[in-house]
Each structure stands twice: as structure tokens, then as C-alpha cells.
Amino acid sequence: MAGNPQERVALVTGASRGIGAAASLALASRGFLPVLAVRDPASAAEALAAIESQGLRAASVRCDVSDEGSVRDAVAECLRLAGRIDALVNNAGRIDPIGKLVDTDPQAWAAAVAVNLVGPYRMAHAALPALARSARACIVNVSTGAAHMPREGWSAYCSAKAGLAMLTRCLAGEYPQVATYGFQPGVVDTDMQVRIRASGINEISRIPRANLAPPDRPAAFIAWLCDTRPADLVGQDLTVNDQALQQRVQESA
């Protein structure tokens, strides 16, 4: 698939389901060609079908954000398929290991940091040369309120996401031509929330599923950031619960 030279391209990690899949559809609706970066290409079939059912285009590449070679190959394949990268959405993440610090496995703890923090670094490192060639380049790092508020049993997740919030600020300062944002999607009905509820370890695990937001809510915010690149928000760790931000997204829909 060769991309239209006038069509913006968004590379989205963790895009087979949940927020990543919904963000890919929202980006396609705003005129992007989403390239879904997933560990298993077969897992992207449903998300691709949902986009194509709307008469929109999408593609997928194999990518494990915890593996440097896989990340480099994914970026190269995205460029081969679409010819450019205008937006990078670092959405891939993991909540495990859940448990008080001394009860966690050190290798699992390090693996969580590799996905939630080192993964976005690797993606940005590999994609920035291509992003720098775009006149409207953007990076959105999917963050969490847990980056700023510790939660019992989530030491790996909270620590890695706190690091990601600082990485957002570093990218914004070092590469001002690439609009970089952090974005906290809130408590969303995803597979990650299934694992959280099963753990029963903190107050988030006790939120009824009926009270969780659908993935298309944060997806709309992510697509809006990539599309409009608001200069006044660059470098910030934004939250879906910000009413002023909600109004701006709704007005642009």
C-alpha cells in the first residue's frame, strides 16, 4: 500500500483493541491513514475491519515496543507502506505486575518499565527523523493519572508513567517542531481494566464496569490533538476530565 502524499500518516502502538483501536478509527475519520502497530498482525484484523467498514483506509505493522529491533523494523515498514509519519501515538502499555512492591517479581517489574517508558522512548527515537520531515508532526504519549498519584499495588505502572510524563516534557523542549503531548484517558473499559478489577487491590479495582468510559471517548481527544496540534498545550500531561479541553474537542467534532 502506497500512501497518498497528501494524506497524513499516524503510527499507533497497542492498536489491536481498546483505546489504540478506537484512536486509529478516530484518526482515520480525521483524514489520517492509521498504521496499527501490534505484536501479532492477526490481532489487528478486527480493528482494521472496523476502519474499512467506514470506507476509510488503514494498515498494520508488527511491533513489540519492548524490543529495539522490532521497533526499528516497524517504523521502516510503516515508511515503506505509507511513505511518511506525521503522528506517533504511544499507546501500548501494561499494568502488570500488580501487587505490593516486595510481592512483585523484579523481572516483571522491569518488563513493565520496558513497555510503559522505554517503549515510547524507542518509538520516538526511531520515528523522529521521519516526523521531522512533516510540517504538522505530533506525538501523543498515552499517560495516566497514576503518573502523578501513586496507587497501591501499581509501583511499576505509576513509576514508568511518571517517567513518561517527563519524557513528554523533554521531547517538547528538544523538538519544538514536533508537537508533543501527554494524555490521561481516564478510567476506560479495556482489557487492562479487567485485570485491575480482578486484582481487587485498590479503589480503582472497585469501580463498577458500568461506570467505565468507552474507548471512543479518549480516542476522540487523541485524534483531536494529532489533527489540531494546539500550541498552548504542548508538553503538558492533559486529562480527559478537563472540562475546557472537552469543550474544545467537542467544538471541533
What residues does 38 pair with on adjacent strands? 62
What stretches of 83-174 show up as alpha helix (H) in DSSP?
106-113, 119-131, 155-174
C-alpha to C-alpha distance for 84 and 95, rounded to whole angstroms: 31
Interstrand relation of 87-90 and 59-62 (parallel, antiparallel or unpaired): unpaired
- Known catalytic residue: 121? no
C-alpha to C-alpha distance for 233 and 98, rounded to whole angstroms: 32
CA atoms within 13 A on the CB side of 115: 21
C-alpha to C-alpha distance for 36 and 186, rounded to whole angstroms: 22
Length of the chain: 253
CA atoms within 13 A on the CB side of 248: 19
Helices 155-174 and 119-131: crossing angle, nearest 10°?
A: 20
C-alpha distances (whole Å) from 16 to each of 33, 59, 175 are: 15, 11, 29
Q: Which secondary-structure segment (H or E) carries 197?
A: helix 191-199
DSSP state of 88: E
Task: Supply the Cα-derived Rg of the chain in whole angstroms.
Answer: 17
Helices 119-131 and 68-82: crossing angle, nearest 10°?
A: 30
Indicate which residue of 121, 157, 175, 181 is catalytic. 157
What residues are labeled active site?
Answer: 157
